[in-house]
């Protein structure tokens, strides 16, 4: 369809990506329409996970789009490099794509060509950020007809939903969710879920599709993942996940549920033929109780291959004197294959000089032959405890990296400041705005639904609400039952807080209108906002190692109370807050309400909307340089 050039914006002195239509398509009305559609689709979206557009125009007879220049690689290159990704590595990628799709679907934009090549892992400001690219096939209104020039279904067949592949009219956002499922399946298994002939049979003869269970390709994914994809690839769109956020939240919950407890895996490397028999006899009880699982190798070369075959090995029991590759050579190379495995040397007294060399090369401990098996058991327990601590530390690091995607960076600095300062001195008084967003009438769901269903429904709300608050500088202070509390500080905190609440409400209303009254989003929310001076600091029981960083004061109490009296999708403030707003916020007086514990009635207002002049005829773009 065209080419993309590296270009220099001479006015702003920055590199950009310049997309030009191929000359052979200039005479095609359909191609020109799709090119313009791409500019309009991106211009509707203001989301950090969608490639940004700077300009659109026609130079002579040739249309062009100017976009941000990205550095990194697309998901196709990522998969080619790694073959497949572990679920924990997929979760942050999926969450970012889901945020982009939620923004698009809320704005009525259906991508129609979501695939590995249109998802880009960009390096921005020292972080990796997922960007959704190429809206050239997008529909600008959910359920709208495709351009009349498109005589055949448009898209990439291996990723297309059944309704898109058959060319059915009235596509909605669930066709993108199917494509997202194909992307997720590819990342986890390295394979497509459906063979080409099955897609052709569906298109020509309406034959039903049947996906290969991912656990048949990657057994450790398990039956739960198979069931997840059964919902993703349901033939009836109504049986699929109702939104990108719900799909991503369900997969995240699946991963966070964790793997079942497994036996500690021990690799014994020794050229003595009887060693395997002796170890299995001595640890027969631990093997039967699935405490230990043994694998064996007769030399260092074979041991390296065993580690490649069993990457979850915890401890290596290593002899030093062996044919082909001795223990010292193995130690010099084991880090290439498995940098975290711990090695215990098992050797004779006469090898003490070699043992010192082995310890210098990273061996964790040593035992002497003949083996004292009580000593061996104690050594194994100590070593496995250390392995567990290292893995917990790594999990904590991974969780912190994931957390940084959801929590505003300012809270990290404030918490670190509180940790470094004695608790009695860590408090401060700050001007802030507090937001309470409560899922309306959620208690009946808790009483009637299964626990897992109720929690997924609630988390679907939080998955939609939290990014809108965080994106505008809010810090999630806590989740209180079925409500979320967030704090906004710094310049313009009140306006940013209200913008975040209005945006979250709009996202939820858009999801509810597209997914029906039975969707997780049908409840609506009640919102209370108050602003003023707060006490901010750490509270808790330091002696028990339990501290929390939070805010306290009348502002918090009033915001919570306003949320409790708000109706469905109402955003309430008090009169003193309304007086601080500029004229762009449209408010409606609701009269007075009696605040509990106070004899003075409070004048309450509803924030209806923020008035903005929007030209919907053309994309909103900056002027050309």
Residues with catalytic function: 113
Other beta carbons within 10 angstroms of residue 372's beta carbon come to 12
Bond from prior residue into 220 cis (ω within 30 degrees of 0) = no
Residues 269 and 267: their CA atoms lie apart, in Å, by 6
Backbone angles phi, psi at 5, to 5 degrees: -110, 145
Residues 543 and 536: their CA atoms lie apart, in Å, by 21
Tokens 């903005």 belong to 612
- What is the SS3 string spanning 270-316? CCCCCHHHHHHHHCHHHHHCCCEEEEEECCHHHHHHHHHHCCCCCEE
Torsion sign, CA atoms 231, 237, 239, 242: positive
Residues 138 and 44: their CA atoms lie apart, in Å, by 12
What is the spatial order of strands in the sheet that 72-74 belongs to? 72-74, 119-124, 127-132
The SS3 assignment for 474 reads coil
Strand partners, 526: 438
The C-alpha torsion from 164 through 166 and 171 to 176, rounded to 10°, is: -20
Residues 234 and 209: their CA atoms lie apart, in Å, by 9
258: its two tokens: 């964790």
Strand partners, 73: 121
Residues 117 and 557: their CA atoms lie apart, in Å, by 49
Find the DSSP H helices in 486-584: 493-515, 554-565, 575-578
383: its two tokens: 């070593």
Is-contact 164 199, C-beta < 8 A? no
Is-contact 339 288, C-beta < 8 A? no
Residues 161 and 175: their CA atoms lie apart, in Å, by 5
Tokens 């631990």 belong to 286
Counting Cα atoms < 13 Å in the Cβ hemisphere of 17 gives 14
Residues 179 and 160: their CA atoms lie apart, in Å, by 6
Residues 358 and 360: their CA atoms lie apart, in Å, by 5
Is-contact 265 293, C-beta < 8 A? yes
Inter-axis angle of helices 327-337 and 300-309, nearest 10: 20
């Amino acid at each position: 369809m065209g080419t993309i050039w590296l270009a220099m914006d001479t006015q702003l002195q920055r590199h950009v990506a310049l997309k030009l239509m191929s000359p052979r398509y200039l005479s095609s009305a359909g191609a020109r329409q799709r090119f313009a559609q791409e500019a309009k689709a991106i211009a509707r979206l203001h989301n950090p996970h969608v490639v940004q557009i700077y300009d659109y125009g026609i130079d002579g007879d040739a249309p062009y789009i100017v976009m941000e220049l990205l550095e990194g690689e697309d998901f196709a290159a990522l998969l080619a490099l790694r073959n497949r990704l572990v679920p924990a590595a997929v979760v942050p990628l999926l969450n970012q794509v889901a945020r982009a799709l939620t923004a698009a679907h809320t704005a009525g934009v259906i991508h129609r060509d979501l695939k590995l090549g249109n998802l880009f892992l960009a390096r921005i400001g020292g972080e990796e950020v997922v960007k959704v690219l190429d809206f050239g096939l997008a529909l600008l209104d959910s359920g709208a007809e495709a351009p009349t020039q498109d005589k055949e279904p448009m898209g990439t067949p291996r990723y297309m939903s059944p309704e898109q592949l058959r060319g059915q009219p009235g596509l909605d956002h669930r066709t993108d969710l199917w494509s997202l499922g194909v992307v997720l399946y590819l990342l986890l298994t390295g394979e497509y879920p459906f063979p080409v002939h099955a897609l052709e049979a569906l298109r020509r003869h309406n034959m039903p599709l049947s996906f290969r269970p991912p656990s048949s390709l990657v057994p450790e994914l398990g039956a739960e993942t198979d069931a997840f994809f059964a919902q993703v690839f349901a033939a009836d769109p109504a049986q699929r996940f109702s939104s990108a956020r719900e799909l991503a939240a369900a997969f995240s919950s699946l991963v966070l549920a964790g793997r079942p407890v497994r036996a500690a895996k021990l690799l014994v490397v020794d050229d003595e033929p009887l060693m395997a028999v002796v170890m299995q006899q001595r640890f027969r009880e631990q093997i039967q109780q699935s405490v230990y699982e043994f694998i064996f190798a007769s030399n260092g070369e074979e041991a390296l291959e065993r580690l490649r075959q069993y990457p979850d090995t915890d401890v290596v029991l290593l002899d030093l004197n062996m044919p082909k590759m001795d223990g010292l050579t193995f130690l010099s190379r084991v880090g290439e294959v498995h940098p975290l495995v711990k090695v215990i040397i098992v050797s004779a007294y006469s090898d003490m000089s070699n043992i010192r060399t082995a310890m210098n090369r990273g061996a964790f401990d040593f035992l002497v032959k003949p083996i004292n098996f009580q000593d061996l058991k104690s050594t194994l327990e100590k070593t496995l405890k250390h392995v567990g601590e290292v893995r917990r530390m790594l999990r904590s690091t991974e969780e912190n990296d994931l957390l940084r995607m959801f929590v505003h960076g300012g809270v990290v600095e404030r918490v670190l400041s509180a940790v470094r300062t004695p608790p009695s001195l860590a408090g401060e008084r700050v001007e802030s705005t507090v937001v309470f967003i409560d899922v309306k009438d959620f208690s009946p769901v808790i009483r009637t639904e299964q626990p897992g269903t109720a929690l997924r429904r609630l988390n679907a709300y939080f998955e939609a609400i939290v990014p809108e608050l965080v994106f505008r500088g809010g810090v999630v202070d806590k989740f209180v039952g079925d409500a979320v509390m967030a704090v906004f500080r710094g310049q313009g905190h009140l306006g940013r807080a209200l913008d975040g609440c209005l945006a979250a409400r709009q996202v939820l209303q858009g999801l509810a209108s597209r997914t029906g009254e039975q969707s997780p989003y049908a409840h609506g929310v009640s919102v209370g906002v108050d602003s003023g001076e707060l006490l901010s600091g750490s509270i808790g029981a330091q002696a028990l190692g339990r501290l929390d960083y939070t805010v306290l004061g009348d502002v918090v109490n009033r915001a919570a109370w306003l949320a409790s009296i708000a109706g469905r999708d109402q955003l309430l403030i008090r009169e003193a807050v309304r007086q601080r707003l500029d004229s762009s916020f449209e408010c409606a007086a609701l009269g007075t309400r009696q605040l509990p514990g106070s004899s003075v009635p409070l004048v309450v207002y509803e924030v209806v909307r923020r008035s903005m002049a929007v030209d919907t005829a053309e994309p909103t773009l900056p002027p050309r340089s």
